[in-house]
Structure 1
């Protein structure tokens, strides 16, 4: 009987190959959106609104694997039009586990990795809160852990947001013109 084993390195490499492929696809999608819809947005004074998660839907980090969720968040900042980001999306906050199964996506903002004082949401550790807390104890699923790391999803997200503020093409899109002569001219 032949045994099959994968080393951490091969899994890691394979995962990043998949992420690379997804990144290329996301880039192509962005180009397609900019090319096909930017003229419509500018002519009709219509601006799209990109919202990938909100209080009514499951969080991106709970619907997709972590690298894919981060790529979608980054992609969102490159699309033309208005962007709405649900709190915690910038660092990969997942749905919380509520006792009744409701409001899972409306968990508390996690400022610190520990559950003490509700992950930094409240200074009173005994204070009742109305929103569920995640029981996910990952050190990177919070603002404080990602703030000091230069290549963390939070820092990359912040850099992309600043780039978006400075670059009009990322806000309104690129007006595409045709080199073809008009039939009437």
Structure 2
């Protein structure tokens, strides 16, 4: 397994946009928090964090090939484990044809779009995540003009994939992002 600093370095090599880097770090933190909640061993926690961090690795440089460029070329060449590569492939089933099936795949799918959406919500709030409530997020989910590019159906499907009520999923991620502060 690669060390965290090696994965961060790889991320910085492929992604220059600070907002996209921030999103990747948010998803990594969400994945790590869920891995800990599920009592995963250290190696699994690291794998979950890494999958979250690198899930959009090729988005900026190869948007038309995302995530295939990462899962077919970049990550295998860098020596990343199959479980991480498969999770990244399954986080975009509409592009790859691979539906999220394993636990890490389902959680990555569940954390990706919702983390991005919740970040957008935090940006229009005076205190960001500090005093965010589930209702703040669900209200914005109902507003189809807010963060219009985020597929609401994927967010709902994601909660089902991890067998969690959507409100509970949102509440968990609020606490993760509130406690963690800025990305490392």
Structure number, greater radius of gyration: 1
Same fold (TM over 0.5): no
* TM-score for the superposition, normalised by structure 1: 0.28
Structure number with the higher helix fraction is 2
* TM-score for the superposition, normalised by structure 2: 0.28
